[in-house]
Homo-oligomer: A and B are copies of this chain.
Amino acid sequence: MQIAIVLYKNFTTLDAVGPYEILASLPGAETVFVAEQTGPVLNDRGQVSIVATKSFAEVPRPDIVVVPGGPGEADQLENKALLDWLRAVDATTTWTTSVCTGSLALAAAGLLKGRRAASHWLALETLAGLGVEATGERVVFDGKYVTAAGVSSGIDMGLTLAGKIAGDRVAQAIQLMTEYDPQPPYDAGSPDKAPADLVEQMRTRSRS
């Protein structure tokens, strides 16, 4: 079972690493970090690179694809090399997945037409504009397409998918070993729960 975690310039680090840490624990998993070209790929803050060990050309038939998001929507929507590769490999994947605005790439590749899908809460309008039934849910399964909401939701996506693939017991073992017993000090992790003026402030900032 080959799991391809996609990297592209300006990706958000936790989007990729959250599901990686969970899914790479699956029995029989071979996990590869893949990008247009091998080598270091710089993240959205320009501060850290993760090394892609395979190029798109070297990974023609992954079983699972994970597309992380990033703050610049053009990086997903206009990334021809990424979109072409996604279309090609999706023909044979078992699961095609995304975190955060990674779903914009899946949608731009034409893979989510008429399907339900999640994204970062600030990207739901853009996602809907691509002919997708965009929803604010945290993890959305629609056929073999699994999409998650913003950044940290990739951990929940990974764990849910791990359970579907390998059963509850294996997924629980992964949860236990990664000690995923979240205890956030605030309850502001979604636009429904955060203070309304903070939500508005972030929405305004994202438009500027």
Complex Cα gap A14–B18 (Å): 6
Please count how many residues in chain A sit with their CB below 8 Å of the partner chain's CB atoms. 63
Residues 146-184 of A at the B interface (beta carbon under 8 Å) = 149-153, 155-156, 159-160, 163, 168-169, 171-173, 175-184
Please state if A153 and B176 are interface contacts (CB–CB under 8 Å).
Answer: no
Asked if A1 is at the interface (CB within 8 A of a chain B CB), the reply is no
B47, B138, B155, B201: the one contacting A152 at CB < 8 Å is B155
Please state if A194 and B172 are interface contacts (CB–CB under 8 Å).
Answer: yes
A178: nearest chain-B partner, CB-CB:
B151
Asked if A193 is at the interface (CB within 8 A of a chain B CB), the reply is yes
Can you show 29 pairs from A to B with CB atoms below 8 A apart? Answer: A12-B21, A17-B18, A20-B48, A24-B45, A31-B45, A48-B50, A48-B53, A49-B51, A139-B183, A151-B179, A151-B180, A152-B155, A153-B181, A153-B183, A155-B182, A156-B183, A156-B184, A159-B185, A169-B198, A171-B186, A172-B186, A173-B201, A173-B202, A175-B184, A179-B190, A180-B184, A181-B190, A181-B193, A182-B182
- The 9 lowest CB-CB distance pairs between A and B, nearest first, are A150-B179, A181-B189, A182-B182, A172-B188, A14-B21, A151-B178, A49-B51, A17-B17, A181-B190
Instruction: Please give 19 more A-B residue pairs, beta carbons under 8 A apart, in addition to A153-B179, A171-B186, A176-B202.
Output: A12-B21, A13-B17, A13-B20, A31-B47, A31-B48, A40-B51, A138-B179, A149-B181, A152-B179, A153-B183, A159-B186, A160-B185, A163-B186, A169-B198, A172-B188, A175-B186, A176-B191, A178-B189, A181-B189
